[in-house]
Chains A and B, each alone.
Chain A
Amino acid sequence: TPETGHVLPEKVKIVEVGPRDGLQNEKTIVPTDTKIHLINMLSESGLPVIEATSFVSPKWVPQMADQVEVMKGICRKSGVTYPVLTPNLKGFQSAMKAGASEVAIFGAASELFSKKNINCSVDESLQRFDEVMKAAKEAGVPVRGYVSCVVGCPYEGKVAPEKVAHVAKRLYSMGCYEISLGDTIGVGTPGSMSEMLEAVSREVPVSALAVHCHDTYGQALANILVALQMGISVVDSSVAGLGGCPYAQGASGNVATEDVVYMLHGLGIQTGVDLPKLMDAGAFICRTLNRKTNSKVAQATCKL
């Protein structure tokens, strides 16, 4: 039944990025045991996908230096997948050794962002991933693709929807089973989101798309709603809204999983997530990080 006059998906898959994207962007480095405990709590909350860690060089991302211990230490719940980031073949090989069964690669929709961050053009970065794709295919390991800066870039400003569509299509035809479209600096609004999604869904089937909205300008839930109205049924989010925005010091980044789940359940959409258990996980990690939650649902003490 249409809950809001639009046809919305009956079910939405939530991809929980807190343990990786979230913690990677927090100031405090979290001990391995804490990460493992967080991931285990998240597994118990019903989340179907939990991004566990990243196989990048600890030289660049010290927060993820314990990638192997985390991967080996977590209790893998049946029915839950634990993808990991693999920026190159070396990372992929380490991930396989550590027991990963799903990986993810990243492309940018902005040339300048790509050059500034990984020192090569978008095309060059996609070529680099060719090796990873080949190896993953041989190993029968699914690969998820991320596109960053889909509605705006901290260097270029507005990003052309056609460019996003081009990168998404490349990742999809290379073999990524799903493409997560990221509003990296949170500047998107329902206007720019729908324009971008229209362009991308002409090149990649909607069933293979996900949105990764940042809440830096408070627009995330409205943007997610628009994405749902356009048929998207996979949403990335981070417990307690972990992970600030590296481009706006002190500003928020990831949208809080609790707030997303609250909205989805209010729309009658199934997620499989137990919100109170999710909130427990959020409370745990915030206590450990000695920080306040970014989730408004968690902050509110109203009981209805």
Chain B
Amino acid sequence: MGNVPTTVKHCLSYEQLIHDYPWLRRWLQEEKEIVPTGVKIQLIDMLSGTGLPVIEATSFVSSKWVPQMADHTDVLRGIHRAPHVRYPVLTPNMQGLQDAVAAGATEVAVFGSASETFSKKNINCSIDESLLRFEEVINTAKERQIPVRGYVSCTLGCPYEGFIEPSKVAEVAKRLYDMGCYEVSLGDTIGVGTPGSMFKMLESVMKEVPPCALAVHCHDTYGQALANILTALQMGVCVVDSAVAGLGGCPYAQGSSGNVSTEDVLYMLHGMGIETGVNLAKVIEAGDFICNALCRKTNSKVAQAKGRTQ
């Protein structure tokens, strides 16, 4: 099966859809319901009891752009922080970082893109300009001994540019890593990647960033996520991002799925004998809770299968 690691640190990215990007704003503005703060807190608390080591809690973007995350301070202050669990938050700029620190954040994350067009269309600046902005955030975070995670979007394809050169992904990943991000999460933002393109991209990135500092953030829009994650594992990646119940659709394909479900990822990892420290049954419970609260069906096939065979 290849050189698959024996343990995988599992990052749960709750509501990974939250970035300070106009395309997300448009999508969110179409969302009829804003999830109440109490529900978010309860979800995070349930996830904290599952064994997940990292739970991305909220985003310190302006509530003008992302009203879904307007309660970022209340959420961060309201959750019960379990020992041995980390709660990173997104901080797109200095203002966000300051607010995050004031609210008690102990880990932050910044987002870069591997596509110039995506960067320009969504945050109105080039990749280089965005990285300069993040450099300020990273340096300030470093001074306060706050670890920073870096994300690269569009690593396997861009809704505007189409194919993205693996070397470009490697370049952006390297910049983030060299600036001081302890880990770089490589995102297949529109889920178009396959094991073929995943392999080529990782081969390129691994020339610049050590595998132990890499994570994959696969979207399941074309059903390829688990196969792509398997490929990444076989290449030595041992950090995987996912979302409970597969929350978070694809803004580029109305009605399509986005994030891969944590439950489905765990089922695969455990089936391969890989340790994650996570209790799948408890994650399924958390997924049930949030789906009921959102009045929606789960995107997790494992949850669907288990739910029906009582």
- Please choose the segment from A28-36, A53-61, A293-301 that sits at the chain B interface, where 4 or more of its residues have CB less than 8 A away: A293-301
B159 touches A (CB below 8 Å): yes
In the complex, the answer to whether A5 meets B199 with C-beta atoms within 8 Å is yes
What are the residues of chain A within 8 A of B191 when measuring CB–CB? 300, 302
The interface bits of chain A over 207-228 (1 if a CB of B lies within 8 angstroms of the residue's CB, else 0) are: 0000000011111011011100
Number of interface residues of A (CB under 8 A): 45
A62 at interface, CB cutoff 8 A: no
Picked from A190, A266, A268, A301, the residue with its CB within 8 Å of the CB of B230 is: A190
Cβ of A263 < 8 Å from any Cβ of B? yes
Q: Looking at the complex, which one of B159, B195, B229 makes contact with A302 (CB distance below 8 Å)?
A: B159
Would you call B261 and A218 a contact (CB within 8 A)?
yes
Interface of A is mostly: loop
A302 and B250 in contact, given A190-B1, A218-B261, A263-B224 (Cβ under 8 angstroms): yes
A300 and B304 contact, Cβ closer than 8 Å, known pairs A189-B271, A219-B267, A225-B230: no
* Docked-complex contact A217 and B305, CB < 8 angstroms: yes
Pick the interface stretch among B16-24, B67-75, B169-177, B252-260.
B252-260
| Most chain A CB neighbours (cut-off 10 Å) among B300, B301, B308 | B301
Task: Report if B157 contacts A (CB, 8 A).
Answer: yes
Return the chain B residue nearest A219 by Cβ: B268
A44 CA to B250 CA, complexed, in Å: 31
Which A residues, 226 to 251, have Cβ-Cβ distances below 8 Å to chain B? Answer: 226, 229, 245, 247-251
The answer to the question of A252 belonging to the interface, with a C-beta cut-off of 8 Å to chain B, is: yes
Residues of A within 8 A of B254 (CB): 301
Q: What's the Cα separation between A248 and B198 when bound, in Å?
A: 32
Q: How far is the CB of B85 from chain A (nearest CB, A)?
A: 26
CA distance A205 to B71 in the complex (A): 60
Chain A interface: which of B139-147, B178-186, B215-223?
A: B215-223
Which residues does B use to contact A, with CB under 8 Å? 1-2, 157, 159, 162-163, 190-200, 220-224, 226-227, 229-231, 234-235, 250, 252-257, 261, 264, 267-268, 270-273, 300-302, 304-305, 308-309
Roughly how many angstroms separate A48 CA and B89 CA in the complex, as a whole number?
A: 51
Are the C-beta atoms of A302 and B271 separated by less than 8 Å? no
Distance of A74 Cα from B13 Cα, bound (Å): 50
List A contacts of B252 (CB < 8 A). 301-302
- Chain B residue numbers with a CB within 8 Å of A221 are 223-224, 226-227
Determine the distance from Cα of A277 to Cα of B223 in the docked complex, in whole angstroms: 19
Instruction: Tell which of A190, A217, A229, A297 touches B264, judged by Cβ atoms closer than 8 Å.
Output: A217
A6 within 8 A of B: yes
CA distance A246 to B305 in the complex (A): 11
Q: How far is the CB of A222 from chain B (nearest CB, A)?
A: 4
Q: From A4, A194, A247, A297, give the contact of B223 (CB < 8 A).
A: A297
Nearest-CB distance from A190 to chain B (Å)? 5
* Contacts A222-B230, A251-B305, A296-B256; A266 near B268 (Cβ below 8 A): no
User: In the assembled complex, which residues on chain B have CB atoms less than 8 Å from the CB atom of A229?
Assistant: 1-2
Docked CA distance A226–B261 (Å): 20
Least distance between B3 CB and chain A CB atoms (Å): 9
Q: If the complex has contacts A248-B309, A259-B223, A299-B253, are A3 and B196 also in contact, measured as CB distance less than 8 A? A: yes
CB–CB A263/B227 < 8 A: yes
Question: Are B257 and A266 in touch, CB under 8 angstroms?
Answer: no
**A229 CB, min distance to chain B CBs, angstroms:** 7
Asked whether A155 is an interface residue with its Cβ less than 8 Å from the other chain, the reply is no
Contacts of B198 in A (CB 8 A): 4
Choose one: B192, B256, B308; the contact of A299 (CB below 8 Å).
B256
Q: When the two chains form their complex, are residues A256 and B223 in contact, meaning their CB atoms are under 8 A apart?
A: yes
Which residues on the B side are within 8 Å of A194 (C-beta)?
1
User: Given the interface contacts A225-B227, A247-B309, A251-B305, does A302 sit within 8 Å of B272 by beta carbon?
Assistant: no
**In whole angstroms, what is the CA distance A299 to B159 when docked?**
16
Identity of the chain B residue whose Cβ is nearest the Cβ of A218 in the assembled complex: B301
- A186 contacts partner chain B, Cβ-Cβ < 8 Å: yes
CA gap between A192 and B271 in the complex, in Å:
7
Cα A286 to Cα B272 in complex, Å, equals 35
Question: Sorted from nearest, which 6 A-B pairs have the closest CB atoms?
Answer: A189-B271, A266-B194, A296-B223, A218-B301, A218-B264, A191-B272
Q: When chains A and B are docked, how far (Å) is the Cα of A299 from the Cα of B223? A: 10
A89 within 8 A of B: no
Nearest B-chain residue to A269, judged by Cβ: B196
Q: A4-B231, A190-B230, A191-B272 are in contact. Are A266 and B223 (CB under 8 A)?
A: no
